[in-house]
Chains A and B, each alone.
Chain A
Amino acid sequence: MDATARFSRMRRSRLRPALGCPHSRRPEIIPKVPTSCPPGGGSFVVGVKLINSTSPKTPHTSTLMSSKSDYLLLFRGTTWQQELSPQEIEKTLSSFMNWFQELQDEGKIKGANPLERGGKLVSGPNGRSVVDGPFAESKEAIGGYFLISVEDEAEAIAIAQRCPLLERGNVVEVRPVAPQCPLAASLNHPLAELAHA
């Protein structure tokens, strides 16, 4: 890997929240040139090599990990449709459905649900405080979410940018799902435990 590529990969990784895991490793993705195109086209078979973020010269290898990352798309804003006409609602609905269907057909959706308005906020010691919220009127209220499986953050953002609700003033929050610490994962594996012992 040349220096520029590594730098850009490091920059990208910095966008992710700190995981607080001392064994934090980033997966390095090495695409294998496929000998034949898989049916349906699209997905490549990739091999993954783990490199330690502090000393990239001593890589562990693992073929168990997938190169895909999970991202959560949160659709914020639940009252914007109040201003729309029935015709506009119908139009937005059908573009949203097409968009969702496309992502599903591409196998990118791992989960997706709308959320009911309102709910409770539980806080305090022993969860003593239970109050209503967040209110639907708030701009932060979440109307629904997608859990998507994509190559990288750029792809997650590109998908979010196609959300038809953006046109109506909705905000899409793109959040990477933190992967399990790879070393911890291998330690949890019964065979790995034996190996380490």
Chain B
Amino acid sequence: MAEHLFRHEAGKLISVLTGIFGTARLQLAEDVVQEALGRALQTWPYYGVPKNPAAWLTQTAKNLALDLIRREKLFHDKQASIITTIEQRLAQDDSEDAPRFEEEIKDGRLRLMFTCCHPQLPAEAQIALALKTLCGFSPAEIGRAFLTSEAAIAKRLTRARQRIQELALPFEIPTGSELAIRLEGVLQTLYLLFNEGYKASSGDQLIRADLCSEAIRLASLLAEHPLAGHPRTHALLALMLLNAARLKGRTDAGGNILRLEDQDRSTWDGNLIALGIHHLGLASTGEELTAYHLQAGIAACHCIAPNYESTDWSRILSLYDQLARIDASPVIALNRAVALANVEGPEAGIAAVAAIRDASTLESYYLFYAVLGEFEARRESFPAAIDHLQKAIELSDLETEKNLLTRRLQSYQQRHRESRAGAN
């Protein structure tokens, strides 16, 4: 049985059934699929896994859907036509390898993606809904990923489904000029989904890795589609792949966070890097240059550098310069300062940090002080470096981060003592 078979089949079947029942009956589609998976759990242990598990699940979902349509008064008027549609879309596979309307199923998932990521739904509801319906996560799992309770997620999902019903949101891939606008919304949600998994904050590590792979899976689906596969879709996919490639190297065996310069680059995933570079190539066809392009470009510079020292920092700096023009976020400005310090030296970095507009929003951000501390240490003003590091430790709330910062603080203190001993 393929890994995550149930999770992935659930996403496919919910899309197909939503296409049949309509977006207003999203919950019904979810329930039917859940029931089909439950039936598998009840029978497979006794009779063995069917030859084609996916076809078995499809067939069971189809039978359950037919039962439901015949029973539910809701569908009374359209009963006959819905039954015909179910018979067609969830047709029985007679041969084992029969393509299960793969194209149509993919299409259904994209439609559902556009429904879930509709701009009229709140951003957090979009992510939760995408995870529940497209990726087959339970409210409990989504709650674990977002450090929220299962009940809060369930409520969020219920409200989102109601909203879809009230607004009668369509189940379609938008066309023409609307596509570009709506595509941006979908990409943003996938970007947030990926970042949620990628950021090294607390929460269930396994679930977090799954968030990254699910975001990549959905972005790949989009990228493959003739209409949704814009250069920027490829750019986002490249960005995800090039960051995901380095996930394993971010911590040591003891779970401690490693800085980029301390990472063992042999742990980086060469296949993901190659795939990322491939999509970055596809992203550069055409005129548009988005923040995704620039971030993917930066990630690519890190991925292809054999070590920290030989990293092409001037190229990274120029990418950050362009990125800062598109996105005036102080966090990007802070990252740009790091690149600048690597090109022009720590003084230039310190000056760049001082010049950040809205720096006040960074003052509660531990990395702000960690970066300044590093700059000060590089120009050997250790007392200032120690001050900044102490502040950074105070502000960080993750044990692994605190440990990393403490190790750095100790090395500054050590070097400070050595430099004083050397001066005497």
- By a beta-carbon cutoff of 8 Å, the part of chain A in contact with chain B is 78, 81-90, 92-94, 96-97, 100, 112-114, 143-144
CB neighbours (8 Å) of A114 from chain B are 42-43, 45-46
Q: Quick one: closest B residue to A96, CB to CB?
A: B45
How long is the Cα–Cα vector from A96 to B45 in the complex, in angstroms?
6
CB neighbours (8 Å) of A92 from chain B are 41
Query: Is residue B141 contacting chain A, with contact meaning CB distance below 8 A?
Result: yes
Q: Quick one: closest A residue to B2, CB to CB?
A: A90
Smallest beta-carbon distance A147→chain B, Å: 12
CB neighbours (8 Å) of B37 from chain A are 81, 86, 89
With A82-B34, A89-B37 given, is the CB distance from A144 to B6 under 8 Å?
no
Smallest beta-carbon distance A105→chain B, Å: 14
Contact indicator A86/B9 (Cβ below 8 Å)? yes
How long is the Cα–Cα vector from A89 to B35 in the complex, in angstroms?
11
Q: Quick one: closest A residue to B206, CB to CB?
A: A87
Contact indicator B42/A87 (Cβ below 8 Å)? no
How long is the Cα–Cα vector from A87 to B37 in the complex, in angstroms?
10
Contact indicator A93/B44 (Cβ below 8 Å)? yes
Contact indicator B41/A96 (Cβ below 8 Å)? yes
Contact indicator B138/A85 (Cβ below 8 Å)? yes
Contact indicator B141/A89 (Cβ below 8 Å)? no
CB neighbours (8 Å) of B45 from chain A are 93, 96-97, 100, 114
CB neighbours (8 Å) of A97 from chain B are 44-45, 49
Query: Is residue B136 contacting chain A, with contact meaning CB distance below 8 A?
Result: yes
How long is the Cα–Cα vector from A89 to B5 in the complex, in angstroms?
11
Contact indicator A85/B38 (Cβ below 8 Å)? no
With A85-B7, A87-B136 given, is the CB distance from A143 to B42 under 8 Å?
yes
Q: Of the candidates A78, A86, A96, A113, which one forms a contact with B7 in the assembled complex, judged by CB atoms under 8 Å apart?
A: A86
CB neighbours (8 Å) of B1 from chain A are 90, 94
With A94-B1, A100-B46, A113-B46 given, is the CB distance from A89 to B140 under 8 Å?
no
Contact indicator A144/B46 (Cβ below 8 Å)? yes
How long is the Cα–Cα vector from A85 to B137 in the complex, in angstroms?
6
Q: Quick one: closest B residue to A95, CB to CB?
A: B45
Contact indicator B38/A89 (Cβ below 8 Å)? yes
Contact indicator A81/B10 (Cβ below 8 Å)? no
How long is the Cα–Cα vector from A92 to B37 in the complex, in angstroms?
11
With A85-B7, A85-B136, A86-B10 given, is the CB distance from A93 to B41 under 8 Å?
yes
Q: Is the interface on chain B under 10, 10 to 19, 20 to 34, or 35 or more residues?
A: 20 to 34
Contact indicator B42/A78 (Cβ below 8 Å)? yes
Q: Quick one: closest B residue to A112, CB to CB?
A: B46
With A93-B44, A96-B45 given, is the CB distance from A85 to B5 under 8 Å?
no
CB neighbours (8 Å) of B40 from chain A are 89, 93
Q: Quick one: closest A residue to B47, CB to CB?
A: A114
User: What are 23 A-B contacts defined by CB distance under 8 Å?
Assistant: A81-B37, A82-B35, A83-B140, A85-B136, A85-B137, A85-B140, A85-B141, A86-B6, A86-B10, A86-B37, A88-B138, A89-B40, A89-B41, A90-B4, A92-B41, A93-B41, A97-B44, A100-B45, A112-B46, A114-B42, A114-B43, A114-B45, A114-B46
Contact indicator B46/A90 (Cβ below 8 Å)? no
**From A81, A87, A93, residue with most partner B Cβ within 10 Å:** A87
CB neighbours (8 Å) of B140 from chain A are 83, 85
Residues B24-66 near A (CB distance < 8 A): 34-35, 37-38, 40-46, 49
Smallest beta-carbon distance A141→chain B, Å: 11
Smallest beta-carbon distance A169→chain B, Å: 14
CB neighbours (8 Å) of A82 from chain B are 34-35, 38
CB neighbours (8 Å) of B138 from chain A are 83-88
Smallest beta-carbon distance B187→chain A, Å: 25
Contact indicator B38/A81 (Cβ below 8 Å)? yes
Smallest beta-carbon distance B128→chain A, Å: 13
Q: Quick one: closest A residue to B135, CB to CB?
A: A86
Smallest beta-carbon distance A52→chain B, Å: 40
Q: Quick one: closest A residue to B11, CB to CB?
A: A86
